[in-house]
Amino acid sequence: MPLRPQNPASPVRVRFQVDWPTVRKLATRAALVTVAAPVVVAAGVMALERFRRHQYPLDAPFPTAPPASTRVQDTTATVYTYGADLYEAMLEAIEGARHQVFLETYIWKNDDVGEQFKAALREAADRGVEVYVVYDGFANLVIPRSFYDMPPGVHMLRFPAFRPGLLMLDVRHSGRNHRKILVVDDEIAFVGGYNIGTLYATRWRDTHLRIAGPSVWELRNAFVDFWNRWRTPDLPVLQDVGSNLWLPQLRAARNAPSELVFPIRGIYLDAIDRACSHIYITQAYFIPDADIHTALLEAAARGVDVRVLMPERSNHVVADWLARGLYSTLLRGGVRIFLYQGAMIHAKTATVDGIWTTVGTANIDRLSLTGNYEINLEVVDDGLAAELESAFRMDESNSRELTLDEWERRHPLSKIAERIMAPLRPLL
């Protein structure tokens, strides 16, 4: 029998054995580095800022304006841009209360201003006024619990400091109560960015809105719904009185994480998409998500004058650095950025085309738009828009415009830090 010829070119099979324990070890180390690097850089940035703040505190004087009022049909809307003026008006409203006071705040300091509010609420209860108060436990962890001790006539709801969904990033069970509302006798109401404290009275620039008239129901209803949703068994149920007023020009948008309801993001997107002339946004912490970021760029591309005003240095330095990671695309796309100088600007406002306005508690970031309990008034009225645009021009006078050329010349280490910290953006 003839022998079958051998093929010298036949491939030689070589078996490779994967060292799975080593692969797992390397993967674990890579994951740890990926997670740890942004945190380490953020910690370093915070340490440097703490040192810098001693050298250059955020306490420079800034321009202010007296309260300005306008009519939105049967409701009077008053814009406050200075804390001392606002607190005077709020305390006057509480002191004049005859029936009910609803107060909801995120931060309530135990300082001179905080004590004034505490005394006013106690005095209101002493004269027979029903007083209901909501404050956030986490935001006030550094305040002694005894500060919030009130007589039985003041019903206190402490929103839990620690909630079970925090570690799992479950927004239904982790959102903070970031709202700031005061409603007196269903006749006067306040909403905006101001917390309660001496610091905010004169050293922070913020914006609050007072409304008087039938639209007060918007804020009353928001308070009642929250109270009844989160009250403990020892606290009374508040009655929902309903409203026969339908005023589409002035509505409250309320984020409710426990129900996964986030309308504030929607009103921003709708207003930006409608813009034909100009968009003026003032924000304490500006970290827009992909949709809002894209909407602003598309507005600028169609010729809209898009301006965003924010602090050059805020009280949350990590938020500042995360915002800076978006400056390049915004500036290249024609969005103008103005940086407030020497002081903290904490306002959460926007106007579009001189007709649409929002004032409230929500920042343009993940925590506010899809995480916390927030409330913003949405108002379609050229008179109120004019007042907010006047405030924007006042703030522009205390700001400097950041140019693309200046931004691209920033230090290379800054660019590296921005990239490393970018994964933290969804957390804030």
Catalytic residues: 178, 180, 185, 346, 348, 353
Rounded distance, CA 12 to CA 221, Å?
79
- CA-to-CA separations, 278 to 153, 250, 354, 358, in angstroms, rounded: 49, 21, 8, 15
Q: Which helix (H) or strand (E) holds 369?
A: helix 366-370
Tokens 């409701």 — which residue? 75
Q: How many residues does the chain have?
A: 428
What secondary structure letter does DSSP report for 55? H
* Neighbouring C-alpha atoms within 13 Å toward the C-beta of 155: 19
Cβ atoms of 67 and 95 closer than 8 Å:
no
CA separation, residue 328 to residues 49, 273, 296, 371, 386 (Å): 23, 22, 13, 26, 30
Return all residues near 383 (Cβ < 8 A) that are at least 6 apart. 70, 71, 72
Residues 6+ apart with CB under 8 A from 333: 296, 297, 300, 301
**What is the pairing mode between strands 204-205 and 344-345?**
parallel
Does residue 329 contact residue 293 with C-beta atoms inside 8 Å?
Answer: yes
DSSP 8-state secondary structure symbol assigned to residue 193: S
Q: Which residue has the tokens 């827009």?
A: 288
What's CA 119's distance to the chain center, in Å?
Answer: 28
Q: What is the sign of the dihedral through the CA atoms of 234, 235, 240 and 241?
A: positive
